[in-house]
Amino acid sequence: MGHLNWTVQLLSVLAVSTLLCVRAQDISVFDEFPDDLGFDDLGSAIGPIFPRPAVFPECTAGSSCVLSCRYTDDKGNVLPNRAPVRLTMDKQEERLRALVSRQEEVIYQQGLLEQQQQQLVNLLQASTADQQLAALDSETCLSCSPTQWCEREGKTQCRDCTVCQGGYRARSDCTKFSDATCIDIDECREGTDTCKADQLCVNTQGTFVCVESVGRCPKDSYFDLKTKKCESCSVCTEGISFLYLPCGVVNDSVCTPSVGATLSSLWMGKINDPSLVTRAENLANGIKVDLNSFHSQNNSYFQNMPRKGMVKFRKHGFVTVTFNFAARHSCNDFLQFGVRTSELGGLAAARLTELSGKYFQGSTISTTVEVDPQDELSLDVKSGTYYCFKNSNDARYSTTFEEIAADNLAGPMSLLWLSHESAAVFLRAETRQTTYETGWRATFNMKETSDHYILRLDSYTYFNIREGGNLRFSFMQAYFLSGQACRSNGLVVIPKLLKRDGQVIDLFENYQRGVPLQYNSILTAGSVPVEYNDKLFFDVETARSCKMYFYGNNEGVGTVSLLWVPFRQSALYAGMLVNGEDLFGVGEETQLRFQEVNNTDTRTLRQLRNGKLKFKRSGRILVDYHGVLMHSCAYAKVTVYYENRPGATPIPFAQQVQGKTDSEKEGLVLSGAYTVKANSRIYLTLTCAEGRVNEVFNGRVNAVSVLWFPP
């Protein structure tokens, strides 16, 4: 037996008894005690438990001193059945080495103690500073009257609660730390207007107007409520302003100053095809969907071609596509929306599983692609069966494409263009078709990358990043589940980051409820700061005995896209939900609050105390959100709002719905892009229609990321 085994055996004995050592020459030894084991070997292993040779001054250099060690109890009685130990010290140098070794150990322990003391001092100082600030806030807030609320953004002060005037109702009450918010009452929708039967009721802020001559206004005109006449819609000037509110029945176009388009540009639009659900075409082959731009005219980067149902790109660059959509259908197999380009074919596609058609199902498409001038992007819809439209010639089939959600429920489509001058790098890969049970690490085939040095795919699994920056990823995957175990546990996609030191970081968890024997798809998208030689990969988990089939084809139903941007040309914020408990039982629109996890540039992005994210510089943003909730609502909706300045009317620029879940856990994903100005802010809300929210989960299953680019 070696020295180490002997040390362990001896220590186990010392733990229950006392080792008493005296000088002797005629003692027995352990049967397996090695003859060449000196005091220095054993003493260095058991430290101060064993007596040092300094207590025996007779042992000098050149002499041989033998110690007889017997085991005694706490009263000094020798324990029976314990073999004594024999230790021999042959040289003075062994004693000196033991003393030096112990002294070095003491010095090392003293150093550790000093470090711990300094850390404790730092923690106490930081805690004291936080307590002082909290005490100052507390004193001010305690002085607020019952009709006031305490504002803690900037200078802490008491402010009078807002009182909703006529034509408005409270959306949220005034509390200790938040003001009341008022929303306009839509008298026309609620039927409280006094318009005649032949008049059109038009809701306005705080009131309503009865209009008689709306129908006589020509195209590209609107009815001016002040002049009572038809007026031409304003046209936003290219390069000087852009449109964020299109011309309507009774409102003119609203243009805002452009922040420029040197490094980035943005196109936003929606489906413009009311007849889509009434066609009698073969949906199994796919049909093109008309797109309508929110902008009043084209610019130097995009050309909208609504008659052809596509958008044409005018410059080289990288384009990130996001499209939130929802539909009600009972088409056999699935209903699929996909985006494609004239050059590459199918880029990305998302499927909605076959259901009764009573409730909305929402899904999101998101991908990044490199484009050239004259490349065209289009949107198409298809199903696994011909028999899907309402007016199908074969009455034997009752499956129908019922409805596409309006853009105020799910939408819009956004195209964020990024110049090569931003030093961005792009990569695209496709899923390898596979079948797995319980767990799966996604594998891919490389399609293209703009810079193989910065981004590459290793071993079909790991996306290797060779330089620090901000990375935006989107993983779209169509799948088919088999087995009842799939229903209870669902499907979880976990993007992970493998660091250089071997540490693995779970970025978040994206959950989707399992529906056995049905086609479906899941999007996992977000942004994360990366360092040299980090590796991104995706793990998929489900229940034991749940078989998963994953597909990859030329339509983009299984694909990964990466967009890497250097730190100097981007800023990133990431947060995780913290107010899930406050959303229990909520029926009205309520703000989601997140705890900051990452912020790569506080000069550009800042999270305020009210939970909103403030932009200190103008630019463009990509927002990705995923969450898990349970509700009994007809639908739950998450909306991203933009405020041009504090107190301004918030503008919704991305939204997604989730149909009734029958109080089962279900995931919701949303992506969108927008143009922001300096000192503007964004925030997210949750709305429940005709029901209540039962649970919203905190932590990494409910997270948001915002990636900012210069204009």
* CA–CA gap between residue 211 and residue 67 (Å, rounded): 111
Q: Model confidence at 44, in pLDDT bands (50, 70, 90)?
A: very low
Q: Model confidence at 36, in pLDDT bands (50, 70, 90)?
A: very low
Residue 16: its pLDDT value, please?
39
Helix H, strand E, coil C: the string for 535-593 is EEEEEEECCCCCEEEEECCCCCCEEEEEEEECHHHCEEEEEEECCCHHHCCCCCCEEEC
* CA–CA gap between residue 462 and residue 444 (Å, rounded): 9
pLDDT digits (tens, 9 = 90+) for 433-443: 776 666 788 89
Q: In this structure, are residues 532 and 509 in contact, taking their beta carbons and an 8 Å threshold?
A: no
Residue 261: its pLDDT value, please?
45
Residue 682 corresponds to which tokens in the numbers above? Answer: 């964004």
pLDDT at residue 348 above 50? yes
* CA–CA gap between residue 231 and residue 227 (Å, rounded): 9
The percent of residues in the chain predicted with pLDDT above 90, rounded, is 29
Please provide the DSSP assignment of 143-196 as one string: T--TTEEEE-SSS-EEEEPP---TTEEEEE---SSS--EEEE--HHHHT-----
* CA–CA gap between residue 174 and residue 53 (Å, rounded): 78
Query: What is the rounded average pLDDT of the residues 568-595?
Result: 92
Q: Model confidence at 45, in pLDDT bands (50, 70, 90)?
A: very low
Q: Model confidence at 91, in pLDDT bands (50, 70, 90)?
A: very low
pLDDT digits (tens, 9 = 90+) for 193-227: 888 877 778 777 788 878 765 556 777 888 777 77
* CA–CA gap between residue 57 and residue 467 (Å, rounded): 64
Element (H, E) at 62: none
Architecture of domain 261-418: Sandwich (2.60)
Helix (H, G, I), strand (E, B) or coil at 637: strand
pLDDT digits (tens, 9 = 90+) for 442-490: 899 999 999 999 999 999 999 999 999 999 999 998 888 888 888 777 8
pLDDT at residue 603 above 50? yes
CA proximity to 527, closest of 654, 678, 666, 708: 708
Domain 423-566 in this protein, CATH class = mainly beta
Q: In this structure, are residues 288 and 276 in contact, taking their beta carbons and an 8 Å threshold?
A: no
- In this structure, the number of other CB atoms found within 10 A of the CB of residue 449 comes to 20
Q: In this structure, are residues 230 and 248 in contact, taking their beta carbons and an 8 Å threshold?
A: no
Residue 262: its pLDDT value, please?
67
* CA–CA gap between residue 589 and residue 565 (Å, rounded): 35
* CA–CA gap between residue 410 and residue 670 (Å, rounded): 9
* Of 681 and 170, the one with more pLDDT: 681
Lowest mean pLDDT among 135-139, 254-258, 526-530: 254-258
Residue 389: its pLDDT value, please?
58
pLDDT digits (tens, 9 = 90+) for 136-148: 566 788 889 989 9
Query: What is the rounded average pLDDT of the residues 605-609?
Result: 95
pLDDT at residue 526 above 70? yes
Q: Report which listed range, 10-14, 591-595, 644-648, is most confident.
A: 591-595
* Of 21 and 412, the one with more pLDDT: 412
Residue 656: its pLDDT value, please?
92
Q: In this structure, are residues 526 and 508 in contact, taking their beta carbons and an 8 Å threshold?
A: yes
Element (H, E) at 336: strand 334-341
Element (H, E) at 6: helix 3-14
**Which residues, 6+ apart, have CB-to-CB distance to 348 below 8 Å?**
321, 338, 339, 365, 366, 367, 474, 476, 556, 559, 561
Could you identify the residue written with the tokens 């009842």?
A: 484
* Range list for CATH 2.60.120.40 in the chain: 261-418, 423-566, 570-711
Q: In this structure, are residues 385 and 333 in contact, taking their beta carbons and an 8 Å threshold?
A: yes
- Count H helices, E strands: the chain? 5, 51
Lowest mean pLDDT among 126-140, 373-387, 679-693: 126-140
Please provide the DSSP assignment of 438-501 as one string: SEEE--EEEEEES-TTTEEEETTTEEEE-S-EEEEEEEEEEEEEESTHHHHH-EEEEEEEE-TT
Q: In this structure, are residues 378 and 310 in contact, taking their beta carbons and an 8 Å threshold?
A: yes
pLDDT at residue 46 above 50? no
Report the chain's mean pLDDT, rounded to a whole number.
77
Residue 207 corresponds to which tokens in the numbers above? Answer: 């009131």
Q: What distance separates the 2 farthest-apart alpha carbons in the chain?
A: 123
pLDDT at residue 115 above 50? yes
Burial zone of 17 (CB within 10 Å; 0-12 exposed, 13-18 middle, 19+ buried) = middle
Residue 432: its pLDDT value, please?
85
Query: What is the rounded average pLDDT of the residues 684-700?
Result: 90
Q: Is the dihedral of CA 95, 100, 101, 107 positive or negative?
A: positive
Architecture of domain 570-711: Sandwich (2.60)
* CA–CA gap between residue 618 and residue 264 (Å, rounded): 12
Residue 437: its pLDDT value, please?
66
pLDDT at residue 493 above 50? yes
pLDDT at residue 671 above 90? yes
Lowest mean pLDDT among 95-99, 479-483, 487-491, 619-623: 95-99
Q: Model confidence at 647, in pLDDT bands (50, 70, 90)?
A: confident
pLDDT digits (tens, 9 = 90+) for 333-347: 778 888 988 888 888
What dihedral do alpha carbons 529, 531, 537, 543 form, nearest 10°? -60
Q: Which letter does DSSP use for residue 288 in this model?
A: E
Lowest mean pLDDT among 265-269, 405-409, 445-449, 649-653: 405-409
pLDDT digits (tens, 9 = 90+) for 146-155: 899 888 766 7
Q: Model confidence at 33, in pLDDT bands (50, 70, 90)?
A: very low
Residue 529 corresponds to which tokens in the numbers above? Answer: 């700061």
Q: In this structure, are residues 348 and 360 in contact, taking their beta carbons and an 8 Å threshold?
A: no
Could you identify the residue written with the tokens 């993983």?
A: 475
**Residue 378 exposure: Cα atoms within 13 Å on the Cβ side:** 22
Residue 494: its pLDDT value, please?
95
pLDDT at residue 561 above 80? yes
Query: What is the rounded average pLDDT of the residues 567-588?
Result: 91
Query: What is the rounded average pLDDT of the residues 557-586?
Result: 93
